[in-house]
């Protein structure tokens, strides 16, 4: 009697990464449906009813991988989830850590230096136990609070201190103090270019650099 083939869906907007992850799973006996955007992933889930979804968080324009998982979990609450991402912190997308299910594994792509990391994450997600978190712990953005991160985005949008103060309903002096604390927390040397480096921090993180 042959064992039942396990179904998985892999969604990543980078075809090469999607292919690599899929091939690793297929070598473990999974039948894998591949998708490169949110709609494709949701369609694949409906067609295959998988027990595992591996999702990139940043899927380009439109819904994120977190959005996809939330939709899928609403219909299939027991599906195992592994996030594969360039982002060391999902807050950079506007989504907080509370949007990552506690039993979902989270792996930064740079941490995938061997296939064992993915296998470990999948195994943990399937077991429903403590999730695997392979992340770059020392990225500067990880040291910023949710409030500071929201202000960082405004800085990256090119807003002046006056504009940030008006947007947040606070004083310019309060904005200046917060930016000084953010620059220090991020390990950026104080000086004329500090604000530019702070803005670059946001875009580098958003683009997985």
Instruction: Give the domains, in start order, of the chain with CATH numbers.
Output: 6-134 (3.40.50.2300), 140-206 (1.10.10.10)
C-alpha neighbours within 13 Å on the C-beta side of residue 151: 28
pLDDT of residue 12: 93
How far is CA 71 from each of CA 38, 47, 77, 139, rounded to the nearest angstrom? 10, 15, 10, 30
Contact 72, 53 (CB under 8 A): yes
pLDDT of residue 1: 40
Q: In the chain, which residues have pLDDT < 70?
A: 1-4, 88-101, 112-114, 129-143, 204-209
Structure tokens at 179: 């930016």
Burial class (CB in 10 A: 0-12, 13-18, 19+), 193: exposed
How many residues in total does the chain contain?
Answer: 209
Exposed e or buried b for every residue in 137-170, given b needs 16+ CB within 10 A? eebbbbebeeebbebbebbbeebebeebbeeeee
pLDDT of residue 2: 46
pLDDT of residue 185: 79
State the DSSP code for 92. G
pLDDT of residue 81: 92
- CA proximity to 40, closest of 65, 21, 76, 16: 65
């Amino acid at each position: 009697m042959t064992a039942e083939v396990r179904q998985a869906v892999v969604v990543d907007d980078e075809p090469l990464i999607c292919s690599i992850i899929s091939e690793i799973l297929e070598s473990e006996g999974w039948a894998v449906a591949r998708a490169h955007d949110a709609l494709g992933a949701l369609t694949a889930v409906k067609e295959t009813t998988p027990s595992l979804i591996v999702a990139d968080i940043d899927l380009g324009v439109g819904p994120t991988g977190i959005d996809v998982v939330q939709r899928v979990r609403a219909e299939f609450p027991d599906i195992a989830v592994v996030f594969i991402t360039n982002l060391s912190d999902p807050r950079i997308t506007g989504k907080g850590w509370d949007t990552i299910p506690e039993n979902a594994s989270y792996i930064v792509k740079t941490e995938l230096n061997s296939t064992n990391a993915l296998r470990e994450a999948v195994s943990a997600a399937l077991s429903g136990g403590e999730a695997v978190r392979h992340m770059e712990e020392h990225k500067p953005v990880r040291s910023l609070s949710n409030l500071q991160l929201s202000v960082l985005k405004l800085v990256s949008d090119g807003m002046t201190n006056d504009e940030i103060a008006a947007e947040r309903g606070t004083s310019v002096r309060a904005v200046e103090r917060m930016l000084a604390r953010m620059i220090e927390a991020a390990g950026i040397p104080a000086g004329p270019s500090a604000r530019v480096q702070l803005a670059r921090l946001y875009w580098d993180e958003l683009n997985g650099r």
